[in-house]
Amino acid sequence: MSAVEKPVAGGMVEASGAEGAAEAVDPVEALLRAVRSGASFDIPKLLAALDPGQRRACLTGLRAMRREIRGDWSHEANRLAGALLVAGAGCHAGPAGAATWIGGRDFSGRSGSLHPALALVIEAQPVEWQTEVATRLAARPAPRWGWSFYPVVEAVVRRTGCAVPEDEPFVREWVEQKCGRSGARQTLADDLRADAFTPVLLPRVFELADIGELLSWRLGPRPGDAWAEAVAELAAGGPLDRADLIDRCLARLLRGGKPADQRLFVEVLLALAPTPEEYAARARDLVALLDGPSTVAGHAQGVLAGLDEAGLIEPELLGEASAVVLFRAEKKLVRAQLGWLEKAARRSPERAGAVVLAAAGAFGHADSGVQERALNVVARHRKAAGGAVLPELRHAAEALNPVHHPRATELFGAPVGGDDPDTGWNELLPPVPEPRPLGAPIALAAEVAEELSALLATQEPEVADFERVLDGLVRHAHCDRAALVEALEPVLRVYPWNGVGRWQDCEPRDVLFVAVAVAGQTPPHRLWDFLGGKGRSPLRGQDNTVHGHVLAARLEEAAWQVTATRPPYLLATPTDATGAVDAAVLVERLAGYQAAGVTPGQADLCAALLRVGPTVDGELIRAAETLTRPAGRWAAAWLRTGGVPAQPSERVLFAPGRGSRHGHGYGERWWEDLRRVAVAQPGIGAGPEGPGGERLAREFVALLDSTEPGMNRIRAQAQWNWQPSAHWAAMLPWHREELAARWLDWFASAADRDERGAGRLLPVLAEAGGPAGLALHLVLAYGLGARHTEDRTAAVDALLVLAARGHLDGALLGRELGVLVGCGAVKPTRLSPALALAAGTGAYGTVWSVLAPALPALLTGDQAVRGLGDLVALAADCARRTGARGPIEEVTATAAKGGSGRVVKEARALRDVLTDRG
């Protein structure tokens, strides 16, 4: 029946005019119906029919619909979101309200987040309104998943001619638009020249961080189709000021940043090709760049050397530059600086005094070869420098390696260094780290909410923070659930729980699931059902790790307990930040459960047993045996027998070789090129059995399943989206050898695949409990040879902690390092600076205990390997300082070889130290 007809006797007649018109022309209802149906393209026309009052009236209904789709990511919800965005933008009379509506977080990332109809709605508004909205949107920060307001803002600016926004998100998106074009197009330089935004935005690009990766790509083979070339073209004959760009480029390099950024702006500087006069006017900036990344420092060093040769800079700058460069670790830069000094002295003999004093700055360099080169420069120009420089040269020579002392003594006419090696060395090791106590339980419900909020705002919360919050939720749900619900309410408003993503491992921040259960809120499963499938656990994704399953089991059980059994506390809450549970504390907690008649959850009890420390306290074990409930009897038996026994580690070589597929693309079947030393362990089977037949739950048994390198394990771990964390280590705080065996591939990849980040867990393993066997020493060896400096530094920390605790087997570590260097998994150029760093802390004896057993394998292999001479030189220094004696056959054989190669020369020095000669 039509909306404008109603039945009467005799048939249908047209409805009365007043009533029919009222139904037909209700524009507010018409707009809301269009929004509800997702008809976004109809909305601009419907908005045009509304007066300001009617638009305000629509906002109540629009806000209600917006609340409905929050957390719902279905296709229908996304379609409705697009219509809501368009309608809400047009219904806000004020530009501030409209910008807030358009920039809402719940619209971002949806398929209809910037519906084309939105541009029509904005265009229909007054110019001042449009300009204000564009300005406010341009100033909004970019979220992690992308900034989507660029099309709206760009359209307004180009249409109205208002000022171009210079906010970072807008500039970055403008750059991405320029670099993301496809199809037939003009060159990047021509595109930038034709764009009215370029004079305003291109200079701002020099201020952006993390832009190097994007701008390093070449868009095409034509000249001007790379960013550096395009900037140079515009500076040569376009709208940009060349001198300003050179200044901006140098300022950007001085500011520092990621290597990709620094490489990019060096390319831009090279493309701008400043003249010697332009560089000379900025010579002080170039000297400051010598302290930057090696790529930047190398360019600045070369330019300064050329300027010095042309006489365009003050002679004093040579000394200032040398003082910076000669302390750097990069030997290429140091050798180049010594070469610059050599040329300066030859070109102008009157500068010889300044040159030899500057070269003496390299006498304290960590590399003995660099010291020798500096000594050669000084020897060639000492006579021209005169006798006035001798006192300073003698003082500087005290920093030389003892192998150079005889020559320095002859050259400077006075004894340098002591007569005998230092045989009274006292090893300096860090204090043994004490586990940090977890502290008293959280006392107030409000504090639980505060710590939960802080945890949710942290990308990687600490073990102690997570465990305290989980324990606090359980405790306060037992004591006063109503007060806890009230305290949690503002936190749950800010952090609604939407389930674990399908490709995401369960993580500590999913403790929010327990908080939602405390509050009695039904978790919104719509997102999970959409991504993961109905009936699946909301805490377990498709590619969960075994550690993620353990965490999910604990959280699922706690979420049920806070509303059902409501235990007074958890058994598995650690007593210190490593995740360990003191045995006496566990017995006390179980006694409290028994007195209260509470049955512990299975996951909580299993987690507690795997965390409890070993004990030989007979009185404590007898106290545990007085417990009569099944959980208490199992814990008593666990303490008496020692729980899960340590697993033996077997050394295995994993070298699958190339299969039937050849010429695979980058990243595909990468394991075919591996030659990796790994560890196999048998696993614990079903685990130890309790007196009543109790067994660990399957999630916990899987933590200690058998492990052996193979294709299946490589493929499975490649699918995991998460790397090991301190929370994983806290699940087995007394089984670091087992953890090292199962995580070995991550540590190995840091060395043989140049991946980043695994090294940060080495100090965690070093501070954990349990035996330190083959697996732990092997992952430490990979860490010392890692590609990235921060991973090697973490490995050095772990090495020193193990040595301080008396858990380091230097012979085992040295032998494994020799094998890894021999098979190419670890490069001496990376190993040498790591061990030198350890020695520099005063741990020369520890480093010698590692290098001495490594030398036979190192010196019987390919002695042309880069960096091997540095390792032998470091071994000689450590042997001298610690008074080590006793010949090593391979060292003696290498020293007896002819030639003057670095390895042979350093082997001779080491031989002389070990045989107490020279």
Q: What are phi and psi of 8, to 5 degrees?
A: -140, 170
Q: pLDDT tier at 538 (50, 70, 90 boundaries)?
A: confident
pLDDT value at 733 more than 90: yes
3-state secondary structure 249-275: HHHHHHHCCCHHHHHHHHHHHHHHCCC
**504 with 546: CB under 8 angstroms?**
no
pLDDT attached to residue 856: 95
| For residue 104, pLDDT beyond 60 | yes
pLDDT value for 18? 41
What Rg do the C-alpha atoms of the chain give, in angstroms?
Answer: 35
Highest mean pLDDT among 19-33, 408-422, 443-457: 443-457
Q: What is the mean pLDDT of residues 226-231?
A: 92
| 141 phi and psi angles, rounded to 5 deg | -65, 155
- What backbone phi and psi angles, to 5 degrees, belong to 416? -120, 125
Which helix (H) or strand (E) element contains residue 99?
helix 95-102
Cα 99 to Cα 141: distance, rounded to the nearest angstrom: 13
CA distance 231 to 224: 8
DSSP per residue, 397-434: HTTS-GGGHHHHHHHHTS--S-SS---------PPPPP
- pLDDT per position as a tens digit, 602-637: 999 999 999 998 888 899 999 999 999 999 999 999
pLDDT attached to residue 658: 54
Question: Is residue 641 scored above 80 in pLDDT?
Answer: yes
Mean pLDDT of 97-105: 88
The share of the chain scoring above pLDDT 70, in percent, equals: 88
- pLDDT confidence of residue 714: 62
Exposed, middle or buried by CB within 10 Å (0-12, 13-18, 19+), for 386? Answer: exposed
Which one-letter amino acid corresponds to residue 162? C
pLDDT-derived band at 218 (thresholds 50, 70, 90) equals confident
Q: Which helix (H) or strand (E) holds 378?
A: helix 368-385
Whether the predicted pLDDT of 347 surpasses 80: yes
pLDDT of residue 346: 94
> Mean pLDDT, to the nearest integer, of 571-586?
96
- Are 130 and 122 in contact by the 8 Å Cβ rule? The answer is yes
626: how many CB neighbours lie within 10 A of its CB?
A: 11
451-466: pLDDT as tens digits: 999 999 998 899 999 9
Nearest to 150 by CA among 102, 95, 192: 102
Nearest alpha-carbon partner for 892 in 909, 867, 871:
909
User: Among 790, 719, 810, 791, which residue's Cα sits nearest to residue 750?
Assistant: 791
Percent of the chain with pLDDT over 90: 65
Encode 111-148: b = buried (16+ Cβ within 10 Å), e = exposed. ebbbbebbbbbbeebeeebbbbbbbbbbbbebeeeebb
Average pLDDT estimate for 273-279: 96
What pLDDT sits at residue 533? 45
785 with 778: CB under 8 angstroms? no
Q: Mean pLDDT in the chain? A: 87
- Binning the chain into helix, strand and coil, the percentages to the nearest 5 are 60, 5, 35
Strand partners, 14: 5
Per-residue pLDDT tens over the stretch 116-164:
888 899 999 999 999 999 999 998 887 655 667 888 899 999 999 999 9
Cβ burial of 597 (10 Å; 0-12, 13-18, 19+) is exposed
Q: Which of 26-40, 96-110, 297-311, 592-606 has the lowest mean pLDDT?
A: 96-110
Q: Is residue 666 classed exposed, middle or buried when 0-12, 13-18 and 19+ CB atoms within 10 A define those classes?
A: exposed
Bridge partner residues of 653 (DSSP): 677
pLDDT of residue 1: 37
pLDDT digits (tens, 9 = 90+) for 663-717: 444 445 555 667 889 999 999 998 899 999 999 999 999 999 998 766 566 655 5
Residue 523 pLDDT greater than 60, yes or no:
no
Start-end of H helices in 562-664: 583-596, 602-611, 618-625, 630-641
> Residue 8: beta bridge partners?
11
Q: What is the length of the chain?
A: 918
Question: What is the pTM for the complete model shown?
Answer: 0.75
Most confident of 402-411, 502-511, 651-660: 402-411
